[in-house]
Amino acid sequence: MADKRPDEIVHNRLQMLRTERGMSRQQLADELGVHYQTIGYLERGEYSPSLYLALKIAALFQLPVDAIFALQPFPTLSPEALMSGMR
Amino acid sequence: MYTTFMSESDTQYRQALDRGHQRLLSGPDFFALRGRTPRRWLVLAVCGSLALYFAGSPLHKPWLTLLGLVLFFTSSVLVRFATRGVADLPASALDERQLVVRNAVYVASYRLAGGLVVLVIGVAELLPGLVVPALLASLFALLVTPSCIVAWTEREL
């Protein structure tokens, strides 16, 4: 239900940030006050959070919102990309 | 490390969960029914039970009506457990994604209700003797329609 338009995809780094901090989906869900399956939907990009939830996620990870959510896909961390970033 | 970030609405969400909704929303009960295939079988069981209930009247077989009713209430309760009660729990117990799902389901249910009204009017015109069973079957169907739509459409529950 509630299918979104294909041009309204919001990309995110939620899974990377969560695993980086050693949190389970349940822990993150408890911190944000949402159901644990909602975290899965967010990570897979199947659900775009409200501004309120996005701001809560940003505050939780102590990062700006646009470091976590973006309209364009985030660049992959391929070795080439890392090397070019180090130069 | 991460910092704790809780607001008033989070507290309300927690309290709602504590009031017995936690078991339905997040508990392991009826886990086997939460896959998409068993959920869809349950929806088909609801539809079949209503068909049995409705067929009891024209066939003059009260046991068929009774069997339909028993199957309907059993399958509709199971559908609600299988869908974690997303369509039935109060808004304060649901998070924002679940509310989006519920609202979309209610819109679909509203449209289906309109279709059922047209169907009952059609039955009243063509088969006047079956108006009451058709009306009752429609009312029973509407009771469980939101949960059935959730059960049929949601990929993961």
What is the spatial distance between Cα B53 and Cα A66, in angstroms, rounded to a whole number?
Answer: 56
Residue B3 in domain: no
Select the residue from A35, A42, A63 to test the B interface by mutation, using most B Cβ atoms within 10 A: A35
Distances in Å between the Cα of A8 and the Cα atoms of A4, A46, A47, B93, B144 are 7, 11, 10, 27, 32
Reading the block at residue A73, the tokens are 């896909």
Residue B5 in domain: no
Number of domains making up chain B:
1
Q: How many CB atoms lie within 10 A of CB A36?
A: 16
CB within 8 Å: B100 and A23: no
Domain that holds residue B96: 27-153
CA distance B132 to chain A (A): 33
Q: Which domains does chain A have, with CATH numbers?
A: 6-86 (1.10.260.40)
DSSP state of B19: I
Confirm or reject contact between B4 and chain A (CB < 8 A): yes
Q: Give tens-digit pLDDT for B84-117.
A: 888 988 888 889 999 999 999 999 999 988 998 8
Instruction: Let me know: does B71 contact B112? Beta carbons within 8 Å.
Output: no
What is the spatial distance between Cα B84 and Cα B90, in angstroms, rounded to a whole number?
Answer: 12
Whether residue A3 is predicted with pLDDT greater than 60 in this model: the reply is no
Amino acid at B104: A
What is the spatial distance between Cα B85 and Cα A29, in angstroms, rounded to a whole number?
Answer: 19
Q: How much is the pLDDT for B59?
A: 81
ipTM of the predicted assembly exceeds 0.95: no
Residue A11 pairs in a beta bridge with A70
Region A70-76: mean pLDDT is 83
Instruction: Let me know: does B14 contact B93? Beta carbons within 8 Å.
Output: no
What is the spatial distance between Cα B15 and Cα A79, in angstroms, rounded to a whole number?
Answer: 47
CA distance B4 to chain A (A): 6
Mean pLDDT per 10-residue interval, chain B, length 157 residues? 64 65 77 89 94 85 90 94 89 90 93 88 84 87 92 86
Region A5-19: mean pLDDT is 85
Residue B15 in domain: no
What is the spatial distance between Cα B126 and Cα B86, in angstroms, rounded to a whole number?
Answer: 38
